[in-house]
């Protein structure tokens, strides 16, 4: 990690912290996720997936490092933050923006599905906004109950591509119920 200057915390998960960072001797900003080393196997599985992806609709993975107590994962930095913050701050987005966002989320899911990946956690907090206003899906992790398809709550859950589209519909319905407009 000696190649990076670490700045403010920009996010936090159940098992990790995310910081804004800058690659030394450059003006390139990154997002750095720090996770306790005891989660190394899970993190390395995620890294194996992420390093194979190349899509403008999926957060770009750059590298990972191991220190004495942590695993550090380097991602592209999305200056716009996450979709949850945007829709919380600005409830009346223009229809053209909403259509563009819907397209980006569908393209992200389509890319993951075409690579055999069921996303399982599409929610506003896991959708990031880049410097051009485009959306990128982030995190490959178990789902969040509010957005999970009903079949995932059964005794023997069935994960399928349809589960991701259920989450997309839940996201759209949540938006519609909050301000009367749909995505």
Q: Which residues are catalytic?
A: 121
For the chain, the domain total comes to 2
Q: Can you give the residue range of the structural domain that contains 31?
A: 4-76
Q: Are residues 53 and 123 in the same domain?
A: no
Residues 6+ apart with CB under 8 A from 67: 1, 37
Q: Residue 109: which CATH number? A: 1.10.510.10
Q: Are residues 152 and 91 in the same domain?
A: yes
State the burial class of residue 141 (Cβ atoms within 10 Å of its Cβ: 0-12, 13-18, 19+): middle
Q: Are residues 118 and 158 in the same domain?
A: yes
Q: Are residues 128 and 91 in the same domain?
A: yes
**pTM score:** 0.81
Find out whether 42 is annotated in a ligand binding site. no
Q: Quick one: which of 138, 100, 102, 101 has its CA closest to 122?
A: 138
Q: Residue 34: which CATH number? A: 3.30.200.20
* Overall residue count recorded for the chain in this entry: 183
- Per-residue model confidence as pLDDT tens digits over 117-168: 888 878 888 899 999 999 999 865 554 555 555 665 566 666 778 888 877 8
- Per-residue model confidence as pLDDT tens digits over 73-124: 999 999 999 998 998 898 777 878 888 888 999 999 999 999 888 888 788 8
- Per-residue model confidence as pLDDT tens digits over 39-82: 888 888 888 878 888 999 999 999 999 999 999 999 999 999 99
């Amino acid at each position: 990690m000696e190649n990076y200057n670490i700045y403010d915390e920009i996010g936090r998960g159940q098992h990790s912290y995310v910081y804004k960072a800058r690659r030394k001797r450059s003006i390139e900003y990154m997002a750095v996720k720090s996770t306790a080393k005891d989660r190394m196997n899970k993190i390395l599985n995620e890294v194996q997936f992420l390093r194979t992806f190349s899509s403008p609709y999926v957060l770009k993975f750059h590298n990972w490092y191991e220190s004495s107590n942590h695993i550090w994962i380097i991602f592209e930095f999305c200056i716009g933050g996450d979709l949850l913050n945007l829709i919380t701050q600005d409830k009346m987005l223009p229809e053209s923006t909403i259509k563009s966002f819907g397209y980006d989320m569908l393209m992200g899911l389509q890319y993951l599905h075409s690579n055999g990946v069921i996303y399982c956690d599409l929610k506003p907090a896991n959708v990031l906004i880049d410097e051009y206003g485009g959306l990128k899906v982030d995190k490959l992790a178990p789902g969040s109950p509010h957005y999970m398809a009903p079949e995932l709550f059964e005794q023997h859950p069935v994960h399928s591509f349809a589960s991701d589209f259920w989450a997309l519909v839940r996201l759209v319905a949540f938006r519609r119920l909050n301000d009367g407009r749909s995505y």
